Amino acid sequence: MEIFNLPSKFENVEFDCIAEDTLYRFRLHVFRDMMYASIYADNEPIVLGQRCVQNAWIIPAGLVPDKGNFRFEVNGEDYPWWEDFNNGTRLVYYTRDEIAEIG
């Protein structure tokens, strides 16, 4: 499990992170009080406009079978929100083995 610090000054933001030797680029944007994510792995689009929900995998199962997955972990039952980044909302990467342990 790896926790990434998230930029929290703007509601629409783009940032990079590296997990398991893969460069991931996140583009987060807000539309109608919900956050959406587009994710690129090594400059290839994986997910475009995925709705961000609390404690759920962001990348749909099977799209990147040899890698792990990300999720927004949120305190309480709120949806992930940019103003709460690093303070109640965090982006976490889990390896395939860690995902298998979680179930």
pLDDT tens profile 10-25:
778 899 999 999 999 9
DSSP assignment of 15-58 equals EEEEETTEEEEEEEEEETTEEEEEEEETTEEEEEEEEP-BTSBS
Query: What's this model's pTM, rounded to 2 decimal places?
Result: 0.88
pLDDT given at position 31: 93
What angle is formed at CA 61 by the lines to CA 71 and CA 29, rounded to 5 degrees? Answer: 45
Q: How confident is the model at residue 83 (pLDDT cuts 50, 70, 90)?
A: confident
Which pair of tokens denotes residue 49?
A: 């406009």
**Residue 9 pLDDT exceeds 80:** no
Contact 15, 90 (CB under 8 A): no
Tokens of 16: 């990079």
Mean per-residue pLDDT, 30-55: 94
Q: What is the mean pLDDT of the chain?
A: 90
Residue 14 — φ and ψ, nearest 5°?
A: -130, 135
